[in-house]
């Protein structure tokens, strides 16, 4: 029987990665193993979606109760954990033991503490090195030692310093924050370094007649545990062909149990005097130790390489499977007969305030769908931006509420507390797909976190929030910026003028949100023009984009009846429809009203009107303007159909414009600025387009007053085009169901152990207005005077420092 | 067309000249090829590219200003093949995740880093090299007895502190040149606080009796796997190319794959050994010259940017 394996390192950050690589190589070479998925923590859940393997092998032990590891257990029929840091971490490891069927430990004593189905598994040597043996005569060093300067090692090295000075030696001692104070006390006499890569370690071992092994008897947490089993360096140096001088006070017994004999495969010592004797012999007759080196390398090749450990793991796994411990194979291809659960992120809901945009569309989806069960995680901006979040079900019932202690700021890219609430919502809802209706009010990390868990997300482009915080692309002067590409210099200027943010801020935001676009299962746009803008300004490689026009929320049948009865003859009434504000061209309208004051036309304004407009209008004393007031969505104002034309004066590239649909359905001929989706939707057969300039609109209106014939032609054409088709709900259903079908619904239980820093983007700063990463980087710099400055001053603002840092220190200077 | 594009802004990167050297390497390899070297800022202005172009981004990807992933995407949309030659692995390894998906091939300057990439099928080890500009033969050694040019990373401070102590113990009268910004002048009073141009440095290599080579110990974002660098940096190749006689102290031994110890450079285990060697070379100038010439010959045959350019083109053609 052949087995399939999923392998993952339990901790995201680890200096033992090379061990996992050796192990996986051996697994892949084993004839009883047919497949090995070697997961990276960053995309493990995504990469293993819809997969089921026989064995989950967790390597390491640190953070083994993290969400990713625990979730992967559900995707394998049995699980094994190999603890590598015993006995130093045994107390912690005992708390995670229960999650796994079989435990392996690098330490014999610790293995006893893990209960049944636990085995002692020493680390091993890399079999790819055991074929080469450099003759002693050709070796560069008599002796080498590479390791951390634990106090007992430092004392011993000090004691043999004279002996070492007479030998060709390479002593690489690494210090850390635990050892530093001890080394000063001990008066350690060797230079310190930051260590070497595994392959360099092996090269040095190959070039050393003897490699020195000294126990670590020190614990950073205060206890003094000592492993009874030789560590990986023993096997590695042995595999490379070095003879080993081993401090055998603790590991001697285990060495014998593992088949290594003192005087044959290694030479043991118990104190400095014993070691000095060996060093003396090495000086006088090094050839004496060559046989031992060969014998050790041979034994490792025969019994202690990762191939042998893998053989044991395979045996244990097969035995486990035959003992009928296996969980039944989960049905990976989950049937989706029941309504698929969708979690929607909403920047606003209609009960919180109706602005006639994304909240209205979502409302239509929630009410209109049969195939989906939509839960909404909504941002409630009524208490202020980022101050309240609620999870509500399809019936509008509030299931959870979250009030951040510090309101979320839209300058943040990540936010641990909102992220935690998001995960809690996922745990409650158990969604199969995430619908990002609008990101405003949320950290943009949320969809990436969802993807990490294997939850696909669909992103809706209601405006340009994914490419600029000024979501309608109005610049600091309040006009459409016409930025061309993601690195446009004007974006820096604009962001600085609008929000006083440092240069590159906007770009940093774009880089991050570009990841969102690229990682989405699908993107929904209201119109093609908005997709093009997002694509060019984000620079991202967009996945499949589906154009789904917003739903028709007004009662279509009625509007059609009205418009058919009202053919236009002369231009008398000019409609303004929707939400009249500055970005909808409110100030342009004032100019047009001023221009046409003496003409026999009236301006009929339907919908919400900014107060500032009213006061300016009063100054004009324009008697031909009628403000009808707010109308209920879905109820077109009856007087609309009596108008001959409607003006659409948005100064930003709208992504759709619902009120344009309303006007068209009412048979009112549109006159629009040729910009964004409005410019795209209004063609010359049914309407008029001008450049963004109120004078051009005034001129056109005057022409139509004099000669309405072009208006009549267009209106006739318009009436033939009206269609009742509304595929909004069904198109959304189709897309979201496709996403849900492609992915197995992820498991969100035990998400509390999830650490967002384990995602690949975590090194990107948590805010887009500052490169806060630099502070952390500086803190690690331990060179020259800047290092001491950074310590004494604590947090240094990155501004200016980055430049100095680059010029003086980083400098890519070798 | 081959575009060699810097990944970070030129005013922040004191090694932007390497980009020029790489371009020259491509031209030396194929004199008829159209090769353009440009800064990241200039690439933003490139709106079209000829068919089958190669956009090779070189340098560090830690800086967010440039947004290398976006430029990679731009290059791809212009119909170009894309590659990134990372120059700061493993010190900035965590940041390299930014370009893993976007580039057709990743070249990494460090072999230890290579083994930590999740999908190594598209990652190739490519050490930095020497420019052929420096290849004039060394003639005399009339300069300082030892030279070091670079910034004071922790390992370098330790080395020179010990080096100075040993010199005073031995009462060795060695004339040294320590050049680079930010050396603590109270500790190293003779240090010259400035940055020299590559050409000026290459002349110093030719005329000094010995040049100390020490690696870098400064991680910027290397916290995930804490990888220790194994491949030597560009200075080793540049000095060898200039015919300098190097005394190298590196924790690992990968350096021996590029230059032969005792023949093309000296590998020492301690500052003490370095002092002894410098004293010996002062007595034996011919040895210094012969090691320098050997090193230069090795560089001519293996370690010019021309050789690296060949590897790049071969790799790109094989995918």
Tell me: the pLDDT tens digits for A589-646? 999 999 998 999 999 999 888 888 888 888 887 788 999 988 876 778 888 888 999 9
* More confident position, A674 or A621: A674
Between A55-59, A122-126, A327-331, the lowest mean confidence (pLDDT) is in A327-331
- Res A336 pLDDT > 60: no
CB pair distance less than 8 Å for B251 and A194: yes
- Res A563 pLDDT > 90: no
CB pair distance less than 8 Å for A784 and B234: no
* More confident position, B115 or B63: B115
Write down the H helix ranges in A650-800.
658-665, 676-681, 694-706, 709-721, 728-742, 773-780, 784-793
Tokens for B3, please give them. 């575009």
Q: Which residue of B has its CA nearest to A774?
A: B220
* More confident position, B283 or A803: B283
The count of residues in chain B is 319
- Could you read off the pLDDT of A1-32 as tens digits, one per residue? 789 999 999 988 888 999 999 999 999 999 99
What's the mean pLDDT when you consider all of chain B? 92
Query: Any idea what the Cα angle at residue B117 is, between residues B115 and B121, rounded to 5°?
Result: 90
Between A285-289, A433-437, A728-732, A806-810, the lowest mean confidence (pLDDT) is in A806-810
CB pair distance less than 8 Å for A803 and B64: no
Residue whose entry in the numeric block shows the structure tokens 């606003």: A348
Between A328-342, B185-199, B283-297, the lowest mean confidence (pLDDT) is in A328-342
- Res A760 pLDDT > 50: yes
CB pair distance less than 8 Å for B251 and A200: yes
Residue whose entry in the numeric block shows the structure tokens 């924790």: B251
A611 CB within 8 Å of a chain B CB:
no
CB pair distance less than 8 Å for A777 and B64: no
Q: Which residue of A has its CA nearest to B12?
A: A806
Cβ atoms of residues A787 and A769 within 8 Å: no
- Nearest residue, CB atoms, B227 vs list A197, A539, A813: A197
CB pair distance less than 8 Å for A486 and B234: no
Q: What is the DSSP string of B38-69?
A: E-HHHHTT-----TT-EEEEEE----TTT-HH
- Res A491 pLDDT > 50: yes
- Res A794 pLDDT > 60: no
A165 CB within 8 Å of a chain B CB:
no
Q: Which residue of A has its CA nearest to B162?
A: A191
**Cα end-to-end span (Å), chain A:** 53
CB pair distance less than 8 Å for B180 and A813: yes
Please give the DSSP secondary-structure letter assigned to residue B132: G
Q: Find residues 268-287 of chain B whose CB sits inside 8 Å of chain A.
A: 269-271
CB pair distance less than 8 Å for B157 and A783: yes
- Nearest residue, CB atoms, B152 vs list A784, A802, A810: A784
A764 CB within 8 Å of a chain B CB:
yes
Rg (CA), chain A: 35
* More confident position, B77 or A355: B77
Residues of A in contact with B64 (CB under 8 A): 504, 507-508, 511, 764-765, 771
Q: Which residue of A has its CA nearest to B183?
A: A784
B223 CB within 8 Å of a chain A CB:
yes
Which helix or strand (DSSP H or E) is residue A105 part of? strand A102-105
Main-chain dihedrals φ then ψ at residue B141, nearest 5 degrees? -125, 65
CB pair distance less than 8 Å for A814 and B216: yes
- Could you read off the pLDDT of B232-251 as tens digits, one per residue? 999 999 999 999 999 999 99
Residue whose entry in the numeric block shows the structure tokens 């009339």: B142
* More confident position, A552 or A813: A552
User: Averaged over B165-170, what is the pLDDT?
Assistant: 92
Main-chain dihedrals φ then ψ at residue A47, nearest 5 degrees? -65, -30
Q: What pLDDT band is residue A806 in, cutting at 50, 70 and 90?
A: very low
pLDDT for residue A791? 30
CA distance A18 to chain B (A): 8
pLDDT for residue A801? 30
3-state SS class at A600: coil
Main-chain dihedrals φ then ψ at residue B38, nearest 5 degrees? -150, 160
Q: What is the DSSP string of A156-223?
A: HHHHTHHHHHTS-EEEEEE--TTHHHHHHHHT--S-EE----HHHHHHHHHTEEEEEE------TTS-
Percent of chain A beyond pLDDT 70? 87
Write down the H helix ranges in chain B.
17-29, 40-43, 68-77, 97-100, 111-114, 154-170, 198-207, 234-241, 271-283, 285-302, 305-318
pLDDT for residue A422? 93
Cβ atoms of residues B178 and B286 within 8 Å: no
Give the pairing of strands A33-38 and A76-83: unpaired
A177 CB within 8 Å of a chain B CB:
no
- Could you read off the pLDDT of A358-411 as tens digits, one per residue? 888 899 899 999 999 999 999 999 989 999 999 999 999 999 999 999 999 999
Task: Respond yes or no on whether ipTM tops 0.90.
Answer: yes
* More confident position, A674 or A800: A674
Q: What pLDDT band is residue A189 in, cutting at 50, 70 and 90?
A: confident
A138 CB within 8 Å of a chain B CB:
no
Q: Which residues of B268-295 are buried (b: 16+ CB within 10 A; e: fewer)?
A: bbbbbebbbbbbebbeeeebbbebbebb
Q: Which residue of B has its CA nearest to A784?
A: B152
Q: Find residues 11-40 of chain B whose CB sits inside 8 Å of chain A.
A: 12-15, 18
B65 CB within 8 Å of a chain A CB:
yes
pLDDT for residue A751? 65
Please give the DSSP secondary-structure letter assigned to residue B304: B
CB pair distance less than 8 Å for B182 and A764: no
Tokens for A577, please give them. 């429809």
- Nearest residue, CB atoms, B14 vs list A195, A763, A807: A807
- Res A186 pLDDT > 50: yes
Tokens for B215, please give them. 């690696």
Cα–Cα distance, A93 to A114 (Å, whole number): 9
């Amino acid at each position: 029987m052949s087995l399939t394996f999923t392998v993952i390192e339990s901790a995201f950050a680890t200096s033992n990665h090379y061990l996992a690589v050796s192990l996986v190589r051996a697994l892949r070479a084993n004839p009883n193993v047919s497949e090995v998925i070697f997961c990276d923590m960053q995309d493990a859940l995504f990469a293993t979606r819809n997969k089921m393997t026989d064995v989950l092998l967790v390597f390491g032990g640190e953070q083994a109760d993290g969400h990713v590891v625990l979730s992967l257990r559900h995707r394998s029929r049995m699980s094994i954990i190999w603890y590598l840091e015993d006995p130093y971490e045994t107390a912690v490891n005992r708390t995670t033991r229960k999650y796994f069927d079989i435990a392996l430990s690098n330490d014999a004593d610790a293995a006893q503490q893990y209960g049944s189905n636990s085995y002692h598994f020493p680390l091993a040597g890399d079999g790819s090195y055991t074929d080469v043996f450099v003759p002693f005569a050709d070796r560069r060093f008599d002796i080498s030692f590479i390791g951390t300067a634990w106090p007992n090692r430092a004392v011993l090295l000090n004691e043999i310093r004279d002996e070492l000075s007479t030998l060709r030696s390479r002593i690489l001692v690494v210090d850390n924050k635990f050892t530093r104070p001890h080394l000063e006390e001990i008066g350690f006499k060797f230079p310190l370094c930051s260590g070497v890569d595994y392959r360099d370690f092996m090269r040095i071992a190959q070039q050393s007649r003897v490699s020195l092994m000294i126990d670590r008897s020190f614990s950073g947490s205060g206890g003094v545990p000592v492993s009874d089993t030789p560590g990986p360096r023993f096997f590695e140096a042995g595999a490379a062909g070095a003879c080993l001088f081993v401090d055998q006070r603790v590991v001697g017994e285990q060495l014998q149990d593992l088949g290594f004999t003192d005087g044959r495969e290694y030479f043991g010592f118990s104190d400095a005097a014993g070691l000095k004797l060996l060093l003396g012999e090495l000086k006088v007759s090094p050839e004496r130790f060559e046989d031992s080196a060969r014998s050790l390398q041979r034994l490792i090749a025969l019994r202690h390489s990762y191939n042998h450990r893998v053989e044991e793991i395979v045996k244990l796994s097969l035995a486990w499977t035959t003992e009928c411990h296996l969980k039944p194979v989960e049905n990976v291809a989950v049937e989706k007969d029941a309504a698929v659960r969708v979690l929607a992120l909403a920047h606003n809901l209609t009960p919180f305030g109706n602005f006639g945009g994304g909240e209205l569309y979502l409302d239509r989806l929630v009410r209109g769908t049969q195939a989906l069960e939509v839960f909404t995680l909504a941002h409630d901006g009524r208490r202020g931006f980022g101050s309240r979040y609620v999870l509500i079900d399809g019936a509008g019932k509030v299931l959870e509420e979250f009030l951040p202690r510090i309101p979320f700021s839209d300058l943040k890219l990540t936010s641990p507390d909102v992220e935690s609430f998001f995960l809690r919502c996922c745990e409650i809802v158990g969604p199969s797909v995430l619908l990002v209706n609008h990101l405003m009010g949320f950290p943009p990390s949320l969809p990436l976190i969802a993807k990490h868990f294997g939850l696909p997300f669909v992103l809706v482009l209601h405006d340009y929030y994914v490419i600029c915080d000024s979501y309608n692309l109005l610049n600091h002067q309040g006009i459409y910026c016409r930025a061309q590409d993601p690195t446009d210099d004007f974006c820096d200027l604009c962001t600085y003028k609008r929000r006083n943010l440092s240069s590159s801020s906007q770009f940093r935001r774009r880089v991050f949100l570009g990841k969102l676009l690229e990682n989405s299962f699908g993107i929904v746009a209201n119109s093609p023009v908005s997709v093009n803008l997002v694509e060019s300004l984000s620079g991202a490689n967009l996945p499949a984009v589906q154009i789904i026009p917003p739903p028709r929320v007004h009662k279509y049948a009625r509007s059609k009846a009205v418009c058919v009865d009202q053919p236009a003859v002369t231009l008398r009434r000019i409609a303004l429809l929707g939400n009249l504000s500055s970005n909808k061209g409110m100030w342009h309208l004032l100019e047009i009203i001023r221009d046409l004051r003496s003409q026999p036309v009236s301006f009929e304004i339907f919908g919400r009107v900014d107060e500032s407009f009213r006061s300016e209008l009063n100054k004009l004393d324009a008697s031909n303007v009628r403000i009808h007031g707010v109308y209920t969505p879905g109820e077109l104002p009856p007087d609309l159909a009596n108008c001959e034309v409607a003006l659409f004066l948005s100064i930003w590239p709208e992504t759709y414009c619902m009120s344009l649909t309303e006007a068209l359905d009412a048979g009112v001929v549109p006159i629009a600025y040729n910009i964004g989706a409005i410019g795209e939707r209004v063609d010359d057969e049914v309407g008029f387009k001008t450049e963004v300039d109120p004078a051009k609109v005034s001129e056109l209106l005057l022409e139509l007053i004099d000669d309405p014939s072009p208006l009549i032609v267009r209106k006739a054409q318009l009436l033939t085009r009206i269609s009742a088709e509304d595929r909004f709900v069904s198109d959304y259903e189709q897309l979201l169901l496709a996403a849900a079908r492609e992915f197995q619904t992820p498991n969100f239980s035990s998400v509390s152990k999830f650490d967002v820093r384990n995602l690949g983007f975590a090194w990107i700063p948590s805010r887009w207005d500052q490169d806060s990463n630099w502070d952390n980087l500086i803190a690690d710099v331990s060179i020259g005077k800047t290092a001491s400055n950074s310590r004494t001053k604590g947090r240094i603002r990155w501004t200016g420092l980055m430049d100095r840092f680059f010029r003086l220190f980083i400098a890519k200077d070798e | 067309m081959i575009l060699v594009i810097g990944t970070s802004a030129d005013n922040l990167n004191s090694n932007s000249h390497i980009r020029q050297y790489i371009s020259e390497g491509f031209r030396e390899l194929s004199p008829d090829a159209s090769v353009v070297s440009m800064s990241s800022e200039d690439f933003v202005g490139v709106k079209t590219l000829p068919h089958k172009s190669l956009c090779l981004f070189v340098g560090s990807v830690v800086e967010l200003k440039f947004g290398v992933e976006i430029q990679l995407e731009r290059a791809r949309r212009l119909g170009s093949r894309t590659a990134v030659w990372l120059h700061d692995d493993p010190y900035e390894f965590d940041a390299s995740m930014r370009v893993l998906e976007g580039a057709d091939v990743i070249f990494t300057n460090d072999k230890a880093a290579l083994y930590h990439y999740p999908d190594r099928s598209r990652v190739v080890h490519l050490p930095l090299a020497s420019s052929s500009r420096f290849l004039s033969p060394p003639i005399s050694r009339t300069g300082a007895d030892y030279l070091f040019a670079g910034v004071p990373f922790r390992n370098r401070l330790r080395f020179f502190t010990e080096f100075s102590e040993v010199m005073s113990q031995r009462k060795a009268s060695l004339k040294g040149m320590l050049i680079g910004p930010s050396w603590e002048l109270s500790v190293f009073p003779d240090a010259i606080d400035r940055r020299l141009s590559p050409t000026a440095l290459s002349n110093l290599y030719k005329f000094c009796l010995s040049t100390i080579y020490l690696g870098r110990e400064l991680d910027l974002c290397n916290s995930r796997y804490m990888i220790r660098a194994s491949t030597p940096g560009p200075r080793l190749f540049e000095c060898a190319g200039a015919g300098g006689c190097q005394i190298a102290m590196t924790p690992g031994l990968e350096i021996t794959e590029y230059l032969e110890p005792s023949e093309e450079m000296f590998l020492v285990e301690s500052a003490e050994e370095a002092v002894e060697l410098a004293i010996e070379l002062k007595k034996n100038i011919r040895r210094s010259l012969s090691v320098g010439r050997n090193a230069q010959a090795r560089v001519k045959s293996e370690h010019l940017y021309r050789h690296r350019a060949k590897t790049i083109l071969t790799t790109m053609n094989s995918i």
